[in-house]
Amino acid sequence: MLELGIRILVAYLLGSVIGSLVVGRFYGNVDIRKSGSGNPGATNALRTQGKIFALWVMLIDAGKGILAAGIVPYVHPATHPLLPITWVAALCAAAAIAGHVFPVFFRFHGGKGAATLLGTLLMLSWPALLVALIVWLLVLVLSGYVSLATILAVCSVPAYALLETVGGWRSPLFWFGLVTAAFILYTHRSNLRRLSQGNENRFARAMLLHRLRR
């Protein structure tokens, strides 16, 4: 039990390393929480600081998810584990996402968890990640809304697990996807409100119809 708790804590601490705030230290102490939407995620980094800055943010935020779900559960695994290793990996993945949203190193003011989720999915189930990326891309090019694309992509994970994984709703991927989807919906609640009001920011350049009309 202690070993499981330590792994979850390490994964949470990894998640608490916010990419944009780390990169910002090398860009003259830039804090993107004071720019644009105020969110320290890759989307706001792209809009306010440019492609290179946003790329580093994405690499760090996704990378910590990879470490949390793909490395932490497997370092000196217990001889008689309390849970199967797949469940330990799912718990560590969830802890990393929680750390990104509520980072202890930055006064619990973090991002929305999407990039870290990508990293964890790469380790938990690359087919689920592929499905999520396809959904994200389709929604983005059809609607132009990054937030809507992210929400629907995350919701595709438990749906995929339910239909395609061994164990269905009993699988750790399904419960990880379900809990994570609810969490991402919570972190995107302001985006959902703006979408319902019709004033959400739209990434017009990514829209297929926008390109066809040019």
For each of the chain's 214 residues, which pLDDT tens digit applies? 778 899 999 999 999 998 888 888 888 888 888 887 777 878 788 888 888 888 999 999 999 999 999 999 998 876 556 788 999 999 999 999 999 999 998 788 888 888 999 999 999 999 999 999 999 999 998 888 888 999 999 999 999 999 887 678 889 999 999 999 999 999 899 889 999 998 888 776 666 655 544 5
Residues in contact with 60: Cβ distance below 8 Å, sequence separation at least 6, in sequence order: 17, 19, 22, 23
Q: pLDDT tens-digit profile of 153-196? A: 999 999 999 988 767 888 999 999 999 999 999 989 988 999 99
DSSP conformation class of 144: -
pLDDT for the residue 127: 94
pTM: 0.87
44 token code pair: 């706001």
pLDDT for the residue 110: 83
pLDDT for the residue 212: 47
pLDDT for the residue 87: 93
User: Following DSSP, what letter does each residue of 119-135 receive, concatenated?
Assistant: HHHHHH-HHHHHHHHHH
Torsion of Cα atoms, 108 then 53 then 209 then 188, to 10°: 0
pLDDT for the residue 98: 95
Q: How far apart are CA 150 and CA 148, in angstroms?
A: 5
3-state SS assignment for residue 200: coil
Residue 165 backbone dihedrals phi, psi, to 5 degrees: -90, 155
